[in-house]
Amino acid sequence: MDTVGLFRQNFPDLELSFNYPLTDKNYFKLGGRAEVFYSARSKQEAISLAIFCKQQGIKLTILGGGSNVIIADEGLSGLVLQLAFRELTFISENEQSLTLQADAGIKTSALVARAAAKNATGLEGFIGVPGVLGGAIYNNAHYLGFLIGDYITQVEVFDVKKEETVVFTREKCQFAYEKSIFQSEKDLIIFSAYFELKKAYPDLIKSNLQSAISERERTQPLAQPSCGCVFQNPPNTEALRELFPQFKERDFIPAGFLIDQAGLKGLREGDIQVSEKHAAFFINLGQGQASQVKTLIAKVKASVLAKFNVILEEEVFYLS
């Protein structure tokens, strides 16, 4: 029996979608179709489907909010599973701190807004981060010098190989700049996270939120389809510090700045273009394809390497 037939037979009560177009499931508005697609409404649904895929040898792809991914033009075989459970629970609170648990499917911006409403500070910079919490944890999303993993105490995950739910401490998550253990351990599915936040004055929190929103609106092409920053900010070097003294105190230099200095704003491959507003962003002008994104990435990397001797590394993830 083929994959579609197996799912129809074993999960007749689930509203599974077949040959499902993924263009509307990612911010870049590109990519092919999913052989099978489903948004799990509960952790138990996700567990049942994940175990079934393991037992049947079916490829399983977890898709978050689709904000930092490039989906192959050929589409994705097997099951593409989104986690649609979005509960947020306030566990404990006093005048100094707030502890909460948030499900992987909650929008990152919604988590930030609800924490801010409780006068909890730390997450304000992530108010404009697109996508959902699971993806932000997977990628250890950053805003300026802040990493979302810095505010997490534990992450609840489902280990598909062991078929059990386990809790990872912050240390076990191996958070680093644009890194977490979940990028290398493919059998782990992020279910929820626990945050411990300090309290602050409401006016300060409001100011932080407004500042983060204004900065994104000023610098990023928010009105156009994009996967966010394509490249990680590379480590600074003595040569770069000499060339660009305005960044001499920074450990990392903005990738977008180097791409801009290389004269690449507006560079285009088909309908994919280096943004004129923020050079680390690529935008889809209409009918962009994943293959065009890869070609443009290669051109940008080659140019920056030739001009500044800097190897740019992608912070986007390829799904194929």
Q: Encode pLDDT of 209-267 as tens digits.
A: 999 999 999 999 999 999 999 999 999 999 999 999 999 999 999 999 999 999 999 99
The structure tokens 């909010």 sit at 65
pLDDT for res 145: 80
Burial class (CB in 10 A: 0-12, 13-18, 19+), 6: middle
For residue 143, pLDDT beyond 90: no
Model-wide pTM > 0.85: yes
Burial class (CB in 10 A: 0-12, 13-18, 19+), 164: exposed
Mean pLDDT of 272-288: 98
Mean pLDDT of 135-150: 93
For residue 144, pLDDT beyond 90: no
Give me the CATH code for the 13-83 domain, please. 3.30.43.10
Hey, what are 122's tokens? 């730390």
For residue 69, pLDDT beyond 90: yes
What fold characterizes domain 221-319? Answer: 3.90.78
Q: Which residue ranges make up each domain of the chain?
A: 13-83, 88-205, 221-319
**Strand 188-199 relative to strand 120-121: parallel, antiparallel, unpaired?**
antiparallel
pLDDT for res 1: 83
What fold characterizes domain 88-205? Answer: 3.30.465
For residue 302, pLDDT beyond 90: yes
pLDDT for res 266: 98
The conformation of residue 314, written as its DSSP 8-state character, comes to B
